Structure 1
Amino acid sequence: MPFYSPEILNDLRSRVDIAQVIENFIPLKRSGNGNYMGRCPFHDDRSPSMNVNPTLGIYKCFACNAGGNVFKFVQEHEKIDFIAAVEWVANFAGYALPQQEKNENAEVSEERAMVRKLNELACQWFESQLSMSQKALEYLANRHITEETRKLFHIGYAPDGREGFIGYAVKNGFSPLDCVKAGLAVERENGGVSDKFRDRLMIAIQNQSGIVVAFGGRDLSGNSPAKYMNSPESATYHKSDILFGFNHSRVSIAKEKSVIIVEGYFDLMSLYQGGVTNVVAASGTALTENHANILSRYAKTAYLVFDGDAAGKKATLRSLEIVLPKGIAPRVFALSRPDGTKIDPDNFVNEQGPDAFRQALTQAEDWLNYLAMERNPRSPEERAEFVSYVKSLVKSIDDRELQNQYLKLISERYNTDRSLAHVKSIKPAYKAPRPVASSNSQDEVIPQLEQEASIDWAMIPPMEVRFANLILRNPTLMDRAAEYFDMDWATSGIQLFESRVVEDFVSSTVAIYLESGYHSPQLLYENFSPELRLFLEGLPEEQWKSPQEIKEFYQTLTVLSTKLCDRQKRMIPLNSNDAVEIRMQMSKFTQGMQKINQLYSTEKIDINAFADQVVKSRSMLMKFQAAIPDNGY
């Protein structure tokens, strides 16, 4: 696996807008100071708690404290290792990473990378085989799947042979055991390995980034007891995390603020092909809490479209119980032909068209009406049981105001009180998210956002905050700052700023620049202490028109120097002739700083002469500092 130098990582990070990357996964809204807010994907976020700062190249959740840079976000969100995250970001930005030698890596990291490459190879091979199978092409034509849809969803074909794909994989450098690990082959009882998918139409299952992580295979032989066969879980595929089609539909779901949840691959593909694009399918598994957490960041309403049989009704009820606690309002409907027979979304949209489907959506029942029709409680006992059940659903909702509104509705409809005091929530017990597998591969140390750090902004003089921001936003000032705050200044013991935080900020910024030869807010953030990171986050977005930043830099230094001199003067008691002399020099220094500032303001000296005088004035400040008695501080 490649190893990338800090210089490469810093360069890539500086070229990528973290907000654009994160918007690939969750919707963001612009907030003040040029930042963005969104619902955190790393916990059950009820309202936007995650701040994204493009200037610093960081994200931070104020609720669960998740945070880091663009690599960290992709790594955690996609559950991939650090190197894979770097390569994902580089691919997104069109950035050419250099070829590097490989390091020793943990077995799990190697396996994940191998499975990812093998899935890509399999996807290409299945697609190439499709054009050679008349049976598969006819099947797709009968299902009204166009060539464009075939390509979009990477539909292919697995021939009826024991080692068709295995042989192809071996020719491309993989072993039969690799195919087993990827879920593309199975070990036979009598020994040997054979293809898992045979004589099946193959549908690629992709994660949110569009990476192929698994496959669904539809039997075309008519002899298999399993009409559909999915890949087993692997190093890259976890059913509870994947919603089929979500990589295509995410933008539409966010735009519509609603999601249509269907059962099958063809239900989704036919709807998407017909222009109904805010749709997902939980193929291969029932809808999970992880699925609902993902959808809750995009949708306010979920339309549950399942079959009307017993299994479909059970799936509907389970899905309703999963999405409702996440603040998604479930609406339920079943599709039918004009004669009243039930029909799935795939057949419906092909027979009656997408407009008819959209019209059917408007007839969807809210979850409370749906449950009332299904349960049809008549006797007092049935009504009591029904009310207890729907109250248990309401209690599972985290949003208290939404709870109150539903309780009011239930109270009005069923003449019951609004109390939840003796009601048990049906919400499943919390399960910690599966951690990203650790490895010995290259990892980046991401600064942890510590809760203990805090900034008392009211105690920092506004001029000092502005000076810190001036240096932060203007890389062209760094050589001038390094000249002023040089080693002699650093060893003099002078604190130019009244605020210790600003003093630390300026000295650390200059030190990092001198060490790296590079200045960027992102680099500073990576190297700062928790307190300075917090200070950095609080600095406002601002721009200076050149050469105003140079003028303000030196003018501010004259004011800060004068203030410093006043503080130094108070530390020198008038108890000797030398002390009196120093105090007189201090008064003269203050007058001199005011004079050179006035000369520059009236254009009697140019910026270069002004800068030279300001830098030279440091020697007097260091002299004054040395004259302060040891017990002066």
Structure 2
Amino acid sequence: MRRIAQETINRVLEEVDVLDVISQYVDLKKRGQNYFGLSPFRSETKPSFSVAPDKNMWYDFGSAQGGNAVQFLIEYEKISFPEAIRSLAEKYGIEIIERGNKEQNNLYDQLYEIHELACIYFENSIKDNPKGTAKKYLTDRSFHDSIINQFRIGFAPDSWDSLLKELQGKFDNQILKKSGLFSESKKGPLIDRFRNRIMFPFFSLSGKIIGFSGRSLSEKEDVKYLNSPETLLFEKSKVFYGSYQTLPNIRKKNFAILVEGQTDFLRLVEQTFDNVLATSGTAFSSKHAVALKKYTNRVILCYDSDSAGINAAIRTSYVLLQNGIETRVLFLGNGDDPDDFFRKDNNTKDTFRSLIKSAAHPISFIIKHKDILKQGAADQSKFLNECIGEIQLVPDSMVRNDLIRKLSNELGVVEAEVLDRFSSLKQKRYKAPVESDSSTTEVTHYRSSEDKAQ
């Protein structure tokens, strides 16, 4: 007899947004951080049914029952647990793995095992060579063994087939290819994808390794960071580096610090800022925002303070705001990233805490760092229209009005003029569905062709 695998159940519980599910059955109104509506399980005139997006849970005060999206479907549609899991998995594009389907089960088991064995191999490549280039790189960057061990950082040797030789014979070549750790080449049927790189593993929320990011140790390598490709286990558009270790702290502190790279992430964790996540070179998407919103609706962006980092912060700010997440931008200056910042002797934890408290509103950040007020009237008018186009994609009317007010104050434009433009401008761009990997905002606030290329 077939039964749904725990892997599918875990993905449904982790990825399905309870607010999105219940909104299709109940008319909900936001009140504070939660949403309220009339109970769908009994007759009432005053709303006592609550949905908490940050906890991904619902609760009916009248009947004293509550739970997650699966439990809601079971209660509302009077169906079984497997039927609820299957229904949600099909709707949200989650592959249904069934025990009893030995071939499919075996494939996932083998992919997880390949990644675990690869991680052990990479870890041992550092431990077995304590004076090698990989250990020297980490030591020079002042990363202690405790951090290296906690996040299972390793090293992929500068070889075309060292990992392949380690795993070949244990797994079929087709399975190895599906893992994303190997590529086809003229040098042989398969070669190692990661070579001469510091290896940072990605974990699922259940603690299994699902992919890697590799930082090249060669100055001649054009691709500084290389991530695993899309696989059955690894979806880059919704995965954060460090989420397995830090999401509980993010929920507890009710805000996340979002950084670009793994070394920035590790430095902040080392400095006890353990509510941090990294996008790891992947453009921030609506899928990222949806995943993050289950744990918090407040984000501090702390990206690199070079031109590329500024543009990335602007793009990410819009995506976060358009997904209902309160956003502030922490700008370190001097071209620094968080790793650079804490490697300077005069910077302390207290300094960073002060910067968090004074982090800028996204509108203020954009206007300042794109020198909008120094531009001519025509360019300022163009910028205003572009900003309004982004604000139109914000679903919450209160947040939209706040952004319009902020834009008016910062530009010195009468609020009525901004509102008039908001009403008259046609919404030329539409929010991409969550399921689409293209669901990122393309920002047009460029000062130069160099900015645009970046």
Q: Is the Cα contact below 8 Å between 2:243 and 2:277 reproduced in 1? A: yes
Instruction: After TM superposition, give the deviation of residue 57 of structure 1 in Å.
Output: 10
3-state SS of 2:273 partner: coil
Q: Secondary structure at the match of 2:198?
A: strand
Amino acid at match of 1:169: L
| Aligned equivalents of 2:15, 2:313: Cα separation in 1 | 30
Question: In structure 1, which of residues 273, 277, 281 is the aligned counterpart of residue 274 of structure 2?
Answer: 277
1:243 paired to 2:240 = yes
Residues 251 and 330 (structure 1), Cα distance of their counterparts in 2 relative to 1, 3 Å cut: same
Paired position in structure 2 for 1:164: 162
Identical counterparts, % of pairs: 23
| Counterpart amino acid of residue 154 in structure 2 | G
User: By how many angstroms is 1:38 displaced?
Assistant: 3.1
Alpha-carbon distance, 1:217 to partner: 1.1
2:425 corresponds in structure 1 to 423
The SS at the match of 2:237 is helix
Aligned partners of 2:402 and 2:69: how far apart in 1? 40
TM-score (norm 2): 0.74
- How far apart are 1:248 and its partner, in Å? 1.8
Alignment check: 8 A CA contact 2:164 2:191 kept: yes
TM-score, normalised to structure 1's length? 0.54
Residue equivalent to 1:306: 303
Contact 1:39 1:50 in 2 (8 A): no
AA in 2 matched with 1:165: L
Whole-angstrom distance in 1 between the partners of 2:240 and 2:54:
18
Distance in 1, matches of 2:290 and 2:179, equals 27
Structure 2 residue identity aligned to 1:430: A
Deviation of 1:391 (Å): 2.1
1:342 partner SS: coil
CA distance in 2, matches of 1:330, 1:266: 23
1:138-287 paired onto structure 2 within 5 Å: 138-171=136-169, 173-287=170-284
CA contact (8 A) 1:49 1:61 kept: no
Matched, 1:127 2:123: yes
CA distance 1:238–1:159, shift in 2 (3 Å): same
The structural deviation recorded for 1:149 is 1.4
Structure 2 distance, partners of 1:130, 1:169, is 18
Q: Is the 8 A contact 2:297 2:324 kept in 1?
A: yes
Whether contact under 8 Å (1:304, 1:316) holds in the other structure is yes
Counterparts in 2 of 1:206 and 1:104: CA distance versus 1, 3 Å: closer
**Paired residues, what number?**
393
Shift of residue 236, structure 1, vs aligned partner = 1.0
Q: CA deviation at 1:50?
A: 8.1
Q: Contact 1:203–1:215 (CA<8 Å) still a contact in 2?
A: yes
Quote the offset at 1:253 in angstroms. Answer: 1.9
Distance 1:305 1:342 in 2: 12
Question: Does the 8 A contact of 1:216 with 1:228 survive in 2?
Answer: yes
Counterpart Cα distance in 2 of 1:103 and 1:300: 39
How far 1:39 sits from its partner (Å)?
A: 2.2
Deviations 1:440-479 (A, max 9, x none): xxxxxxxxxxxxxxxxxxxxxxxxxxxxxxxxxxxxxxxx
CA deviation vs aligned residue, 1:242-270 (integer Å, no higher than 9, x gap): 11112222122223322211111100011
User: Residue 274 of structure 1: CA displacement?
Assistant: 1.1
- 1:558-616 Cα deviation digits (max 9, x unpaired): xxxxxxxxxxxxxxxxxxxxxxxxxxxxxxxxxxxxxxxxxxxxxxxxxxxxxxxxxxx
**AA at the equivalent of 1:130:** I
Q: Which has the higher strand share?
A: 2
Matching residue's letter, 2:380 = R
Consecutive unaligned residues of structure 1, counting only runs of 5 or more, are 10-15, 85-101, 436-633
SS of structure 2 residue aligned to 1:186: strand
Mapping for residues 526-541 of structure 1, pairs under 5 Å:
none
Residue of structure 1 equivalent to 2:358: 363
Q: Which has the larger radius of gyration?
A: 1
Shift, 1:59, TM fit: 2.4
Shift of the 327–427 alpha-carbon distance from structure 1 to 2, 3 Å rule, reads farther
8 Å CA contact retained: 1:259, 1:278: yes
Is 1:331 the counterpart of 2:343? The answer is no
- Higher share in helix: 1
Q: How much is the aligned-residue C-alpha RMSD, in angstroms?
A: 4.1
> Could you report, residue by residue, the CA deviation over 1:52-99 in whole angstroms, capped at 9, with x for unpaired residues?
95689942279x99x974882998489454448xxxxxxxxxxxxxxx
